[in-house]
């Protein structure tokens, strides 16, 4: 693995990249070698939640399933927050049961996510994907035990430079999510911001990968 793409919706099947491809229970593609699987808050459907959770639990018991998610909370959608919390907590319970990391989608609900982690005493790694917020929130999340993953907003928002620079080297990942830019482009900018070589960055992320996914 030269590059690790922590979160992507596009499987490119390149030998130099380990891609953690986002999958949904109702659209599962068995041909994808490594993936995360979860119920995204946007796609919660009450009449199929139990079936989705059953599929997720089945997949979590396989080696190819590296994580659960993306799952989480989003205050900018119409699905009631209490319903989102219920589905999120059920997925966190599965993450604990099968000792899998969690890929988190969070919009305007960071304090709730922090509180749920604490309440449920979650011990597995929890990673906020697509982080785009300020230094204060980043520091708060890291102090609460979260990892941060950067990608789209790192490329598009120069204000995120100092947030990324201040993120400890053992607490971040890089991703492409849904953007057209490659993971190599994200690595290029990240290495520039951290003032290290691509090789040093690759070693850092490989170390973080081992700490999160191989324990």
CA distances from 207 to 13, 176, 187 (A): 22, 20, 15
- What is the pTM (predicted TM-score) of this model? 0.97
Instruction: Determine the structural domain holding residue 50 and report its residue range.
Output: 3-213
Binding site membership for a divalent metal cation: which residues? 70, 105, 129, 177
pLDDT digits (tens, 9 = 90+) for 21-49: 999 999 999 999 999 999 999 999 999 99
pLDDT digits (tens, 9 = 90+) for 59-73: 999 999 999 999 999
Average pLDDT across each block of 10 residues of the chain; the chain has 215 residues. List them in order: 95 96 96 98 96 98 97 98 98 98 98 98 98 98 98 97 98 97 98 98 98 92
The CATH code of the domain that includes 169 is 3.20.20.140
Q: Please tell me the predicted confidence (pLDDT) of residue 215.
A: 73
- Mean pLDDT (the chain, rounded): 97
Q: How many domains does the chain have?
A: 1
SS3 98: helix
Binding site membership: which residues? 70, 105, 129, 177
Query: Within the chain, where are the H helices?
Result: 49-60, 81-98, 110-120, 135-143, 152-156, 160-166, 183-194, 198-213
């Amino acid at each position: 693995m030269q590059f690790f793409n922590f979160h992507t919706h596009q499987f490119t099947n390149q030998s130099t990249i380990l891609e953690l491809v986002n999958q949904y229970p109702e659209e599962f593609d068995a041909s994808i070698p490594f993936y995360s699987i979860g119920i995204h808050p946007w796609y919660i459907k009450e009449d199929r939640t139990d079936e989705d959770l059953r599929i997720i639990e089945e997949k979590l018991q396989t080696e190819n399933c590296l994580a659960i998610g993306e799952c989480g909370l989003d205050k900018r959608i119409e699905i009631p927050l209490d319903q989102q919390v219920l589905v999120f907590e059920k997925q966190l319970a599965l993450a604990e049961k099968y000792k899998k990391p969690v890929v988190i989608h969070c919009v305007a609900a960071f304090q709730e996510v922090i509180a749920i982690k604490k309440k449920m005493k979650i011990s597995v790694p929890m990673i906020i994907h697509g982080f785009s917020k300020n230094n204060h929130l980043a520091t708060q999340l890291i102090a609460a035990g979260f990892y941060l993953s950067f990608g789209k907003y790192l490329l598009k928002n120069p204000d995120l430079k100092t947030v990324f620079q201040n993120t400890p080297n053992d607490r971040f990942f890089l991703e492409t999510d849904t953007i057209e830019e490659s993971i190599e482009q994200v690595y290029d900018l990240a290495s520039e911001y951290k003032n290290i070589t691509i090789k040093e960055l690759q070693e850092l992320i490989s170390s973080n990968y081992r700490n999160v996914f191989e324990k």
